Amino acid sequence: MKSILDSREIAACTSDIEQRVYTSRLLGRDKTLVLHGGGNTSVKASQKNAFGEDENILFVKGSGWDLEKIEGGGFSPVRLDHLKRLAKLTSLPDPAMVNELVTHMTRASAPVPSVEAILHAILPYKYVDHTHADAVVTVSNSVDGEKRIREIYGNRVVVIPYVMPGFDLARLCAERFAADAGPETIGMVLLNHGIFSFGESAQESYERMIHLVGLAEEYLSRQRAWEIEGESTACAGAAIMEMARLRRDISDAAGVPMVVSRYADQNCLSFAARPDVAVIARQGPATPDHVIRTKRLPMIGRDVKAYVAEYEAYFAQYEPLAKERKSMLDPAPRVVLNPELGMCSVGRSAKDAAVVAEIYEHTMDIIRRATALGGYRALSARDIFDVEYWDLEQAKLQKGGKPPAFAGEIALVTGAASGIGKACVESLLARGAAVVGVDLNPAIVSLWQRPDYLGISCDLTDPAAIPKILEQTTNRYGGLDMLVLNAGVFPGGCRIDSLGSGEWRRVMTINLDVNQSLMRECHPLLKLAPRGGRVVVIGSKNVPAPGPGAAAYSASKAALNQLARVAALEWGGDNIRINSLHPNAVFDTGLWTEEVLASRAKHYGLSVDEYKRNNVLKTEVTSRDVAELAAEMCGSLFAKTTGAQLPVDGGNDRVI
Ligand SMILES: [Zn+2]
């Protein structure tokens, strides 16, 4: 473990808080130290109050902030003397503790202080850093963990036995620290949880953290438990329907649609295929706060019913021992280990599933190394239950509020790099769906950089393209709920008497044949959609009102329209809805340049603005208008509608 501190950068920090932000971000950048909101840091400084008096303040990480991205405003200022007094109480229930923290802040708009605030307050150092370093929890969660920790650190750290985070832990640390700390003490290890370091400067505290974690890494190295030997090599195959069935079973167990992401790299496949996986992976998480993301145990295999029964038994066993009554969370797994699939992570959104995967990738390394050290041992099921059902942990998950309409659902949009297709991706992302955008244009791949977007560049007329798209879609998100058939070509005007067969065939292939292939291949996936499948066809005004010179285009769109109507009849029994939109005169697409618009407007003797609004309502129709309606057609407003055709054209006298 190496320090990544830059002496010039820290020298440029002009205040205690700036230094605190700087080294906190350094910790946050190293995923082997903290993951996703894990860990916390603080600084003690004095501040003038309204009366001009100096007050001692603890600036401690506010909950909801990630160390990697924290800013000055992410630290909550709490009156230090009050915190120190609280630490002397014999008991303080969690809600009362949180109330004390919040009511003794000096900035009303600051975030709720970390539940570890009192612990930070009692450590008599200006800067305090806390991480869940992989190397430290690896040693601590192994056979003879405490003995090994003492062997590594000697007098350099105070060792604290496991107690659930909160007031009791802070109080125990206050006692043990006062009794055990000596002149050599530079840190504190919380068994089965993590490590603290401290110092008089941000740099000193940070460098002590790096040094202490480095000692644990060196120990693992000496014990030949750092470099993990290669396990049996396995090979990942396509698993389109296996993924979709697994996602359906998991979503049914959760009661809501879930995203299931597959990780079939060598690291995950070989771990899932280990002969001892059912033992080593079923001990518990590496640090307790991972439980709210990963649940206590992964599901081994694909029997979701058996997993649910086991989870219900776990709840029934430990709930009566809790201080107050709890209601059961959804019993669906969050991590799946399977020799064919590798590791799958599960979340209410693609982002959540990605967080779970990152945590579990670290967990696999920790388990492998602890196993090499003599055996992985996690906290008891009862201890983990207490953290999983701790109100303050659950509050972290509730922060986002009510999930968006399409949370946990997956949509595929064709022709998504520009115009209506691109707008459809935006409208679906805005409603919480994970979206796969497909386009011939290679720019599709990087149009959005976010976990809930996958861009695939391919030629849909290639017969091999569709299975590949569905494999990538199910590997990334687990299934398919919504299909937006948008890709198409609008060739230049050409009358029938001079329309060649090649051009006719080309337009029919892209506008019609490809969509029939997509519908056929997507049907088994849409049938497994937890809330029923939805298809939206982007048709054209030319279907009800064709124009001269557009024979191939109008015929292809009319045939597609008929195809959709038959699908509505055939697929209703599979709970799949299919509806069509007929846009007209949408000018904010790649087809319409300023010059083309100007020349068309002139042709009709209109200004560009009049030309754009040349409809019954005298309104301009944009890509976004079409996309919003397409997205709504997938939502609850249209839950009872299938086989419908809706114009979105500002009113067209020929259509009306
Ligand atoms: Zn912690």
Supply the DSSP string of 418-463, one letter for each residue. Answer: SHHHHHHHHHHHHTT-EEEEEESSGGGGGS--STTEEEEE--TTST
Whether pTM exceeds 0.85: yes
Distance 280 CA to ligand 1 centre (A): 23
Distance 454 CA to ligand 1 centre (A): 34
For the chain, the residue count is 656
Q: Look at the block and give the residue holding tokens 């509806």.
A: 579
Q: Alpha-carbon distance 569 to 578, whole Å?
A: 9
Distance 288 CA to ligand 1 centre (A): 8
Distance 132 CA to ligand 1 centre (A): 6
Distance 384 CA to ligand 1 centre (A): 14
CB 453 within 8 A of CB 434: yes
Q: Both tokens of residue 239? A: 């698993």
Q: Alpha-carbon distance 373 to 489, whole Å?
A: 62
SS3 call for 63: coil
Distance 192 CA to ligand 1 centre (A): 10
DSSP structure string for 353-368 = HHHHHHHHHHHHHHHH
pLDDT of residue 74: 97
Distance 104 CA to ligand 1 centre (A): 22
Distance 200 CA to ligand 1 centre (A): 21
Distance 151 CA to ligand 1 centre (A): 22
Distance 283 CA to ligand 1 centre (A): 19
What sign does the dihedral 182-184-187-190 (CA atoms) show? negative
In a 10 Å sphere around its CB, with 0-12 CB exposed, 13-18 middle and 19+ buried, how is residue 321 labelled?
exposed
Distance 38 CA to ligand 1 centre (A): 6
Q: Both tokens of residue 380? A: 């008891």
Distance 182 CA to ligand 1 centre (A): 23
Q: Where are the alpha helices (DSSP H) in 158-228?
A: 167-180, 202-222
Distance 325 CA to ligand 1 centre (A): 25
SS3 call for 138: helix
Distance 188 CA to ligand 1 centre (A): 12
Alpha carbon dihedral 234, 238, 242, 248, in 10-degree steps, equals 120
CB 201 within 8 A of CB 195: no
Q: Which residues pair with 484 in a beta bridge?
A: 413, 536
Distance 34 CA to ligand 1 centre (A): 9
Distance 219 CA to ligand 1 centre (A): 22
Distance 165 CA to ligand 1 centre (A): 7
Helices and strands in the chain: count of H runs, count of E runs: 25, 18
Distance 131 CA to ligand 1 centre (A): 6
Q: Which residues pair with 187 in a beta bridge?
A: 157, 197
SS3 call for 183: coil
- Radius of gyration of the chain from its Cα atoms, rounded to whole angstroms: 30
Distance 363 CA to ligand 1 centre (A): 16
The vertex-25 CA angle with 20 and 27, nearest 5°, equals: 100
Element (H, E) at 630: helix 623-633
Query: Nearest Cα to 142, choosing from 368, 346, 295, 317?
Result: 368
Distance 114 CA to ligand 1 centre (A): 10
Q: Mean pLDDT, 10 residues at a time, over the chain (656 residues)? A: 94 95 96 91 95 96 93 97 95 92 96 95 97 97 97 97 93 95 96 97 97 98 86 77 98 98 94 94 94 96 97 97 90 96 97 97 96 95 94 69 94 96 98 98 97 97 96 98 94 90 96 98 98 97 93 96 98 98 90 84 91 95 97 97 97 95
Distance 265 CA to ligand 1 centre (A): 30
Distance 259 CA to ligand 1 centre (A): 28
C-alpha separations of 438 from 93, 117, 346, 422, 476 in Å: 53, 48, 24, 10, 14
Distance 348 CA to ligand 1 centre (A): 24
Distance 629 CA to ligand 1 centre (A): 46
Distance 40 CA to ligand 1 centre (A): 7
SS3 call for 319: helix
Query: Nearest Cα to 479, choosing from 490, 470, 492?
Result: 470
CB 504 within 8 A of CB 552: yes
Distance 373 CA to ligand 1 centre (A): 23
Distance 287 CA to ligand 1 centre (A): 8
CB 40 within 8 A of CB 20: no
Distance 248 CA to ligand 1 centre (A): 34
Q: Alpha-carbon distance 104 to 464, whole Å?
A: 64
In a 10 Å sphere around its CB, with 0-12 CB exposed, 13-18 middle and 19+ buried, how is residue 26 labelled?
buried
Q: Both tokens of residue 296? A: 């206590």
